[in-house]
Amino acid sequence: MSHTLSPIKTHKAVVTLESNNDGILAKILMEEGSRAVHLGTLITVEIPPPGAAVPTQAPPPAAVATPPQMAPSAPPPPTPEYTCPTPPDSRPMYPPQSLPGRPGGTYTEITASNVWCVIAQRLTQSKTTIPHAYATVDCDLGAILQLRKEMAKGEIKVSVNDFIIKAEAALPEVNVTWSGEAPQALDSISISIAVEISANAKVGWNSTDTWVVWSSYISNLGMFGISGFSAVINPPQVCILSLGTSKAVHRLTEETLSTVTLSSDGCLVDDKLASRFLDKFCVNLDRPQCMSLA
């Protein structure tokens, strides 16, 4: 039976240190909040519980007389091995080892903010417990870009994300979250734009409420020039939609395409449902007049 000793926070994740042996925690060598603890550093001392059998050292074996041995003969000369000569002024085969605090290996420690600690915890939980499935399609954004221009003439301001949010609310089958140990179909659809997290991080936002109230997420990195990517599901949600930047493609007609990837929980969203969702999503973007923006 394992016992939890302490959570350990790295720059990328928070892991739990466990002990598989019964015993007593006799001494804590690293206090809570210690920083720059190198790998292999002793942090606790455990002793066996009272009454536990303590292994004793076996007595040394009795001395046995041995006949004198002949001095070993000299070993044969080593066989020369062929090595490829290194041309002058060439790069070494392996880079020199860089150690902290030494020339060429100095660094400045950056304290992780509360929001990035929460992100590390949730990403680790998601990737280790949710079977991620991915489906990618190219959607034409030309229609919504043209409609935005027409609406702007009437001083109606609508963003691309407004259309994307409406287009995602296409299939109620994916409007599901995990509640305890079972899925829960939601009566209403609430969608969050994941890029808003970066703004919260700048002001030291440390609440997890915003992470758990939404039924679905959209991560749009197109404004940063990212062509396409696969986002990690944010539990308890079962889907997250990733959008890349739009680019003009000349086929029979000019199209403005954006690469869209649906990351979904394979336990609840199969390939057929993911395909239907993306097909309906692209149709909504291609016919934005059919969507109500109220």
Residue 205 pLDDT exceeds 50: no
The domain locations on the chain are: 3-47, 133-290
pLDDT digits (tens, 9 = 90+) for 31-76: 887 877 777 788 888 888 877 666 565 555 554 455 556 656 666 6
> CB-based burial of residue 228 (10 Å sphere; 0-12 exposed, 13-18 middle, 19+ buried)?
middle
Check: CB of residue 178 under 8 Å from CB of residue 126. no
3-state DSSP call for residue 279? Answer: helix
The DSSP symbol for 33 reads T
Instruction: Give the H/E segment covering residue 14.
Output: strand 14-19
CA distances from 54 to 22, 25, 49, 98 (A): 13, 17, 10, 43
Q: Which of 166, 261, 176, 272 is nearest to 216 (CA)?
A: 176
Q: Looking at residue 209, what is its pLDDT?
A: 46
Share of the chain above pLDDT 90, in %: 21
Q: Which two tokens stand for residue 44?
A: 């606790």
Number of H helices, E strands in the chain: 6, 11
Cα separation, 30 vs 27, in Å, equals: 9
How many CB atoms are located within 10 Å of the residue 24 CB?
A: 12
Q: Which band of pLDDT confidence, cut at 50, 70 and 90, is reported for residue 110?
A: confident
Q: Which two tokens stand for residue 249?
A: 């493609």
Cα separation, 90 vs 84, in Å, equals: 13
Q: Is the peptide bond before 236 cis (omega within 30 degrees of 0)?
A: yes
Instruction: Give the H/E segment covering residue 210.
Output: helix 209-212
CATH of domain 133-290: 3.30.559.10
Answer whether 0.75 is exceeded by the pTM: no
pLDDT digits (tens, 9 = 90+) for 1-35: 667 777 887 765 677 777 777 778 788 888 887 87
Q: What share of the chain is helix, strand, coil (3-state, %, to 5)?
A: 25, 25, 50
Q: Is the peptide bond before 76 cis (omega within 30 degrees of 0)?
A: no
Cα separation, 126 vs 218, in Å, equals: 16
Cα separation, 260 vs 28, in Å, equals: 50
Residue 86 pLDDT exceeds 70: no
